[in-house]
Amino acid sequence: MSEKRFIGTRNAYGEFLKEIGKENPNVVALDADLSCSTQTCKFYDEYPERFFNIGISEQNLVGTAAGLAAYGKKPFISTFAVFASGRAWEPIRQSLCVPKLPVNIIATHGGVTVGADGGSHQMTEDFAIMRALPNMIVLCPADGYETKAMLRRLVEYNDGPAYVRLSRIKFPVIYDDNYKFEIGKSDTLRDGKDITIIAVGYMVHAALEAAEQLAVDGIDARVINMASLKPIDEEAIIKAARETRRIVTIEEHQIYGGLGSAVAQVVAENHPVPMRIMGVHDKFGLSGEADQLLEYHGLTSSGIVEKVKSLL
């Protein structure tokens, strides 16, 4: 973390598609007229015969992918998170989740860091929407390397659909090429005994920065990257609750139905401890720069430090 490097998770997705397309001829990519933004254009440049631009028709995007999956293809479908989890929700439920078809929904431009596009495009409800669907996996990587490792694992997964939220902005690098992702498992990036900070996506980096700031004040914070929201790593959560006795969660999502709610359910059912849930507080987004919006919602390392100290 001493020298920061930044890689966009959507950029890593585009590079991954190009790589996996060469390795696996069954991989196909579908987009809803946003291929430059979602980075699926990189796949199109290499394998145009396996790329399908469905147009601004997200329900057809899902239906077409379902048909391809039913005949043995491995579809990756992409659009903005607000459209993937909003406009396309009912076909996702009926055409993917009910028959358990292995279609990977790669939703870019998630969270408030979409920025100037404003509340209409800042999807902060998608974790809750997708977690509620039976047979759906819900994932969100913490950097570009985890993105590639996560998607590579999904190529091997055939037990149903997956929803992966990516971001518009570039993320600070945490991992490297050797990182292995496992569905349903978390990664403890920093151990600690006083409190546990559980984060997802861009907030993982903020949590690591907060832990460093807290250490200056003698507070030993554990930091967990919970990239798999469903299935979630219950073992790691229960262990944290028992060993650190306090938990703070942080996510670029509404405080209802997302990471915080998932962690709270595990804690309440297994080992109740004091908790705080950090996220967007029941409001839609505003237009602004990504950093300004994170500050507005309190989703910063300083915000985490303040919340941790209030809980302690």
**Number of alpha carbons in the 13 Å side-chain half-sphere of residue 297:** 31
For CA atoms 133, 137, 141, 147, give the dihedral sign: negative
Q: Of 66, 67, 48, 151, which Cα lies nearest the Cα of 108?
A: 151
* Integer Cα distance of 92 and 107 in angstroms: 13
Domain boundaries, the chain: 6-172, 187-311
Please give the CATH architecture assigned to the domain spanning 187-311.
Answer: 3-Layer(aba) Sandwich (3.40)
115-173 pLDDT, tens digit per residue, is: 988 999 999 999 999 999 999 999 999 999 999 999 999 999 999 999 999 999 999 99
For the segment 53-73, the average pLDDT, to the nearest whole number, is 97
Q: In CATH terms, are 6-172 and 187-311 the same topology?
A: yes
pLDDT reading at 81 higher than 60: yes
For the segment 263-275, the average pLDDT, to the nearest whole number, is 98
Q: Is 71 left (phi over 0), alpha (psi -120 to 50) or beta?
A: alpha
User: Which tokens belong to 133?
Assistant: 């669907």
pLDDT at residue number 162? 98
pLDDT at residue number 296? 96
pLDDT at residue number 53? 97
6-49 pLDDT, tens digit per residue, is: 999 999 999 999 999 999 999 999 999 999 999 999 999 999 99
pLDDT at residue number 1? 41
Percent of the chain with pLDDT over 90: 97
pLDDT reading at 93 higher than 70: yes
| Superfamily classification of domain 6-172 | Thiamin diphosphate (ThDP)-binding fold, Pyr/PP domains (3.40.50.970)
Instruction: Detail the DSSP E strand segments found in the chain.
Output: 6-8, 27-31, 51-53, 74-80, 104-108, 137-139, 162-165, 170-172, 187-190, 195-199, 221-225, 228-230, 247-254, 275-280
